[in-house]
Structure formats: structure tokens, C-alpha cells
Homo-oligomer: A and B are copies of this chain.
Amino acid sequence: MEKPSSERMKDPISKNRLEFLFDGIFAIAMTILVLELKVPELEDRHSVGELWRKLSHHAPAFISYLLSFVMLGNFWHHHNRHFRHFRRITLGMLGLSFVQMASAAFFPFCAALMGRYPTNPLSTAIYIGCVMVYMLASMFLWLTAEKADAFTRDLAPAEYRKARRQNLIVCTIITLMFGLYLMNALIH
């Protein structure tokens, strides 16, 4: 947790505390997804059939819950793998981290929207748009870290380039998907 005092003074930002804030926001976003799942109102409190009908009526909300949990878990996993390679955090990297956190914190709203109106092209476009913003911030974070020479020495150039290439591919795909869904929503 503690870095030697001399090194600590040079960093503008504590990497540990940023990691902590990031993990905290992910833990909360992943948990408050559940607040969008509402207990249905039953006319007959004892009726299994009615409860089942009303819950399955909200099946998209449950699917959206699961999908979003997996999505956030996946983001967290990649952050975990990449973040260890940073030996310091510059202001630009902090800014991009806040974009990542803002879009992760925005996820419960997107999940609720998609769970409620799964067939509405606009809600899908907004959901994918939020994923896209997160991904683009991830990619730029990686590029900014290189420019700022913020990588640890144990990251081989080949590894770095591989991660950058993967980021680029994923970002291109998600941006194309966003474009498609947005067009779909516009011509609807």
C-alpha cells in the first residue's frame, strides 16, 4: 500500500487510491444493478402462477441484469490486467480514468433502459454507446500511458503492442456496432 516516501511525492496521484476508487465504483455499479429489478404487485399473494407470469413478463430485465453484470465483470478484469503495468498516473490518465468510471457508474441506467424497452432501437443504441465510451477511454488511456512513459519496465514492447492492437480491434467493432444501431434507431 505504501510506496517509499520519496517516490510518493513525485506522483501527482496515488495509484493505489485510484485503483481503490475504481474497484469501489465497479463493486457498487455491479450491485445496484439489482435495484432496477422490482418485486411485482400480486393480486393473489399465494399464487405461484401469477408470480411466475409477472416475473417472466420482466424476463428482459433479468437478462439485462446478467448481461450487464458480465459486461462490468469483464471490464474490471481487463482493467485489472492493464492497470498493473502503470507505474504512475498522470493527469491525463486520471481524466481518462474518470471517463471510464463515469460510464461504468452510468451502466445501471443503461441496463434499466434496455431491460425495460429491449425492442426499442434507441435503448440498445444508448447501451452500446455507453460500452463504446468506456472502451474508447480504455484505449486512449493505454496510448496516453505510452506517451507519458508511465509503463513499468516489465511490460515488453511486444506485449504492449498486442494490447494496443486488441484495444483497437474491439473499439472499431463496438464503434461500428454503435453506428449501425444508431442508424437503425434514426431510420426507425
State the interface size on chain A (CB cutoff 8 A). 72
Secondary structure at the A interface, as helix, strand, loop or mixed, is: helix
Contact B34 A154 (CB under 8 A): no
A170: Cβ under 8 A from any B Cβ: no
Kindly state whether residue A166 has any CB partner on chain B within 8 Å: no
A63 at the interface (CB under 8 A from B): no
Is A28 an interface residue, CB under 8 A from the partner?
yes
Q: Is the CB of B48 within 8 A of A122?
A: yes
- Picked from B2, B47, B55, B116, the residue with its CB within 8 Å of the CB of A1 is B2
**Beta-carbon contact of A80 and B32 below 8 Å:** no
- Give the copy number: 4
Decide: A48 and B185 in contact? CB cutoff 8 A: yes
- A66 touches B (CB below 8 Å): yes
- Name the one of B9, B30, B51 contacting A105, with C-beta atoms under 8 angstroms: B30
Q: Could you tell me if B106 and A34 are in contact, using CB atoms closer than 8 angstroms?
A: yes
| Interface 9-mer from A16-24, A135-143, A171-179 | A16-24
Q: Using Cβ atoms and an 8 Å threshold, which residues of chain B touch A37? A: 109
Question: With A13-B77, A14-B80 in contact, do A117 and B27 touch (Cβ < 8 Å)?
Answer: no
Q: Which residue of B lies closest to A159 (CB)?
A: B9
Measured CB to CB, the residues of A under 8 A from B are 1-2, 5-6, 8-9, 12-14, 16-21, 23-37, 39, 42, 45-48, 51-52, 55, 65-66, 69-70, 73, 76-77, 80-81, 84, 94, 98, 101-102, 105-109, 112-113, 116-117, 119-123, 152, 154, 185-186, 188
4 further A-B pairs in the complex, CB-CB below 8 A; given A24-B24, A32-B32, A48-B186: A32-B35, A36-B39, A51-B122, A69-B105
